[in-house]
């Protein structure tokens, strides 16, 4: 014989209430629905939500024995809270906390990437992450990466936030740069290693591979510096 739904709930340990009380689990379904609606409004990019009530057995039993008339989301995040109002009460009769995870497809490092690495779209993939567990808003696209570099080392699979990338200077520390040594008579081209970051027009220290002594040059373009004045 098939048991009525109320008896079935009793058998699985959720408790039974009389006709005047809310059905076991009804308060939780209403709270979860309200919470998921609030989460969807605040994070429309998230594709799937999972919410888990953190109420202990005593709180669950107490709520199952009362009629919950209204619910309202009090807080959203990795730990979210929902207020519940019981019949005849002017103030919430309970606050239930939920563990929340939300999967969203975001920009992720496709391999280990070192700090200050000039990035390209091929360095990244789009993968699902629990964005509620991230400490910063993640990027969702591989577009607009031109001219950027990493501000920190990224392990493969890391969700990428905007603060992990910055505009690449014209010359970057450790980069091999083209050096033009100009005089009125001739221009010589060589290679050297930049010792620091520098923007266009700034002075930068460079060092040739066969010398331990840095020299000063002026940044004239991306990866290019010059020494001397061709008018001299």
Per-residue pLDDT tens over the stretch 144-185: 898 999 999 999 999 999 999 999 999 998 889 999 988 777
Please determine, for residue 58, whether its predicted confidence score (pLDDT) is greater than 80: yes
Please determine, for residue 18, whether its predicted confidence score (pLDDT) is greater than 80: no
Q: What residues does CATH 2.30.30.760 cover in the chain?
A: 176-227
Distances (CA, A) of 173 to 77, 88, 147, 192: 39, 69, 15, 11
Q: What residues does CATH 3.90.1210.10 cover in the chain?
A: 106-167
* Cβ count within 10 A of residue 215: 16
* Cβ count within 10 A of residue 61: 14
Using the structure block, give the residue that is written with the tokens 């990035």: 119
Please determine, for residue 52, whether its predicted confidence score (pLDDT) is greater than 90: yes
Please determine, for residue 133, whether its predicted confidence score (pLDDT) is greater than 60: yes
Which CATH number, 1.10.569.10, 3.90.1210.10, 3.20.20.100, 2.60.120.560, labels domain 106-167? Answer: 3.90.1210.10
Using the structure block, give the residue that is written with the tokens 């408790």: 15
| Residue of 97, 72, 80 lying closest to 43 (CA atoms) | 80
Please determine, for residue 20, whether its predicted confidence score (pLDDT) is greater than 90: no
CB 184 within 8 A of CB 231: yes
Distance CA 97, CA 31 (A): 10
Please determine, for residue 4, whether its predicted confidence score (pLDDT) is greater than 80: no
Distance CA 113, CA 152 (A): 9
CATH class of the domain whose range is 176-227: mainly beta
Q: Which residue has the higher pLDDT, 138 or 186?
A: 138
**Alpha-carbon 188 to chain mean position:** 47
Give me the pLDDT at residue 229, please.
Answer: 66
Tokens read off for 106: 């975001």
Give me the pLDDT at residue 201, please.
Answer: 92
pLDDT in tens, 77-98: 999 999 999 988 899 999 999 9
């Amino acid at each position: 014989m098939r048991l009525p739904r109320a008896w079935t709930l009793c058998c699985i340990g959720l408790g039974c209430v009389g006709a005047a009380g809310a059905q076991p689990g009804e308060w939780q379904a209403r709270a979860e629905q309200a919470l998921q609606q609030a989460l969807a409004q605040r994070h429309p990019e998230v594709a799937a939500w999972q919410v888990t009530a953190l109420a202990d057995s005593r709180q669950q039993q107490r709520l199952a024995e009362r009629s919950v008339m209204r619910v309202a989301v009090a807080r959203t995040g990795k730990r979210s809270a929902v207020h519940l109002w019981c019949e005849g009460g002017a103030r919430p009769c309970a606050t239930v906390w939920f563990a929340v995870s939300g999967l969203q497809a975001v920009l992720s490092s496709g391999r280990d990437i070192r700090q200050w690495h000039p990035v390209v779209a091929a360095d990244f993939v789009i993968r699902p992450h629990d964005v509620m567990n991230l400490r910063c808003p993640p990027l969702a696209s591989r577009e607009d990466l031109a001219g950027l570099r990493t501000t920190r080392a990224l392990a493969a699979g890391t969700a990428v936030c905007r603060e992990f990338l910055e505009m690449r200077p014209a010359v970057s520390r450790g980069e091999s740069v083209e050096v033009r040594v100009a005089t009125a008579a001739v221009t010589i081209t060589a290679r050297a290693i930049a010792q620091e970051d520098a923007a266009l027009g700034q002075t930068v220290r460079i060092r040739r591979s066969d010398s331990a002594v840095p020299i000063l040059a002026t940044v004239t373009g991306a990866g290019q510096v010059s020494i001397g004045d061709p008018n001299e």
